[in-house]
């Protein structure tokens, strides 16, 4: 009777993979254009027409390539209003291919994107951001009314402030990106020696500054611009707050990456935002760009930016929306 060697037994015990599925994934990725598409979708989602603009190809051709990627489980779709957005699929439809897919994505992330595509991407994101700023400039007087349609600060503000108390150690500098009318600034002002309020809408920032003055908040600096402005100034924060900001932003993963760069060692990023939902009316009524986010998306973006996930809290609103409070921390320096 022939006995199996330990190696042979291990091989026999190892689960077999579907060669057809491996071939389909490899074939889908084995095209230069489709590899570039996966690179472009590294940290953001885009619609078909946007991808056509980025790559300067016809819609029928782009749809063909996206279908191949989707069938192989490399991209996923999500409808946002009337537009279908494509993004990388973080979990392949075939769990046996998950490791292979992650290795593929990791390799693509190390590759350089064509400089021409970088320019097209910047143009798309600039157009998205301009539309968001225009909305808030136009609706500055309706900010609280629009908030009330989804979730008022009074509905979740106490939870955010308690979340802050349980998250901070250092109390030197705090940054709030997109402070709205400044409802959170009073708490930040009391907890930190210096507070920076950052907004790319001049009208919103003026309203915020006026209300802060009425509260007698004197340790707040108001900065017109986005996170890139703060990075240019070399600011390092012990705490950074994104309070109901990401679903208005055209490139949320990039904002989280910027925030990670702004955090001092051991600093904390606090994110308050909507969970994924299907209430499309918020796009027109409230200027929302995204219909919330799956918690896994925020975790992935933060991890990609080098942040460590901490505490989480989820709040269900009476109107069906869910709010997620998330904590992510920068690595501490070693002594």
| Final residue before a domain boundary, out of 75, 95, 113 | 113
Tally of domains in the chain: 2
Q: Are 35 and 146 within one domain? A: no
Confidence label for 93 from pLDDT (cuts 50, 70 and 90): low
Q: Are 195 and 259 within one domain? A: yes
Helix then strand then coil, % of the chain, to nearest 5: 50, 20, 30
Residue 67 falls inside a structural domain: yes
pLDDT of 311 higher than 60: yes
Residue 122 falls inside a structural domain: no
Residue 137 falls inside a structural domain: no
pLDDT of 199 reads 93
Please write down the HEC assignment for all residues of 80-92.
ECCEEEEEECCCC
Q: Is residue 328 within 8 Å of 308, Cβ to Cβ?
A: yes
Q: Are 152 and 211 within one domain? A: yes
Burial state string for 270-290 with b = 16 or more CB within 10 A and e = fewer than 16 = bbbbbbbbebeebbeebbbbb
Residue 133 falls inside a structural domain: no
pLDDT of 51 reads 95
Residue 251 falls inside a structural domain: yes
| Final residue before a domain boundary, out of 92, 113, 134 | 113
| Final residue before a domain boundary, out of 113, 134, 155 | 113
Q: Are 33 and 74 within one domain? A: yes
pLDDT of 5 higher than 60: no
pLDDT of 196 reads 96
pLDDT of 132 reads 84
> Containing domain of residue 70, as a range?
6-113
Domain containing 18 — which CATH number? 1.10.10.10
pLDDT of 6 reads 46
Q: Are 73 and 146 within one domain? A: no
Q: Are 109 and 175 within one domain? A: no
Residue 127 falls inside a structural domain: no
Tens of pLDDT along 230-270? 899 899 999 999 999 999 998 899 999 999 999 999 999 99
Q: Is residue 157 within 8 Å of 188, Cβ to Cβ?
A: no
Residue 334 falls inside a structural domain: no
Between CA 293 and CA 295, with CA 125 as vertex, the angle to 5 degrees is 10
| Average pLDDT of every residue of the chain | 88
pLDDT of 52 reads 95
Q: Are 279 and 163 within one domain? A: yes
Q: Are 94 and 166 within one domain? A: no
> To the nearest whole percent, how much of the chain has pLDDT over 70?
93
Domain containing 233 — which CATH number? 3.40.50.150
Between CA 299 and CA 302, with CA 300 as vertex, the angle to 5 degrees is 65
Tens of pLDDT along 18-62? 787 788 888 888 899 999 999 999 888 999 999 999 999 999 999
pLDDT of 238 reads 96
pLDDT of 335 higher than 50: no
Q: Are 167 and 215 within one domain? A: yes
> To the nearest whole percent, how much of the chain has pLDDT over 90?
52
Q: Are 283 and 159 within one domain? A: yes
More confident residue, 302 or 105: 302
46: enclosing H helix or E strand: strand 46-47
Q: Are 202 and 271 within one domain? A: yes
Confidence label for 334 from pLDDT (cuts 50, 70 and 90): low
Residue 225 falls inside a structural domain: yes
Tens of pLDDT along 152-211? 898 999 999 999 999 988 899 999 999 999 999 999 999 999 999 999 899 999 999 999
Q: Are 149 and 104 within one domain? A: no
């Amino acid at each position: 009777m022939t006995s199996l060697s330990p190696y042979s037994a291990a091989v026999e015990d190892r689960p077999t993979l579907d060669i057809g599925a491996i071939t389909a994934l490899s074939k889908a990725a084995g095209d230069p254009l489709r590899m570039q598409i996966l690179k472009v979708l590294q940290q953001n989602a885009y619609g078909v027409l946007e991808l056509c603009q980025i790559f300067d190809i016809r819609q029928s051709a782009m749809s063909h390539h996206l279908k191949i990627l989707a069938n192989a489980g490399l991209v996923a779709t999500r409808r946002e209003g009337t537009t279908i957005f494509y993004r990388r699929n973080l979990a392949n439809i075939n769990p046996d291919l998950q490791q292979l897919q992650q290795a593929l994505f990791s390799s693509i992330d190390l590759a350089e994107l064509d400089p021409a595509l970088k320019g097209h991407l910047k143009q798309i994101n600039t157009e998205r951001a301009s539309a968001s700023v225009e909305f808030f400039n136009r609706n500055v007087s309706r900010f609280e009314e629009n908030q009330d349609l989804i979730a008022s600060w009074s509905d979740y503000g106490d939870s955010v402030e308690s979340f802050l108390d349980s998250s901070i150690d250092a109390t030197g500098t705090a940054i709030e990106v997109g402070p709205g009318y400044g409802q959170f600034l009073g708490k930040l002002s009391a907890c930190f020696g210096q507070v920076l309020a950052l907004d790319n809408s001049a009208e919103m920032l003026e309203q915020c500054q006026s209300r802060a003055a009425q509260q007698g908040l004197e340790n707040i600096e108001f900065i017109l611009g986005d996170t890139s402005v703060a990075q240019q100034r070399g600011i390092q924060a012990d705490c950074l707050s994104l309070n109901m900001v990401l679903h208005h932003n055209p490139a949320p993963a990039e904002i989280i990456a910027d925030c990670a760069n702004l955090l001092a060692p051991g600093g904390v990023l606090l994110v308050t935002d909507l969970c994924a939902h299907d209430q499309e009316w918020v796009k027109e009524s409230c200027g929302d760009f995204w219909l919330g986010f799956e918690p896994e998306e925020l975790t992935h973006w933060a991890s990609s930016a080098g942040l460590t996930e901490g505490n989480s809290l989820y709040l269900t609103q009476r109107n069906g929306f869910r709010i997620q409070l998330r904590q992510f921390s920068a690595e501490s320096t070693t002594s």
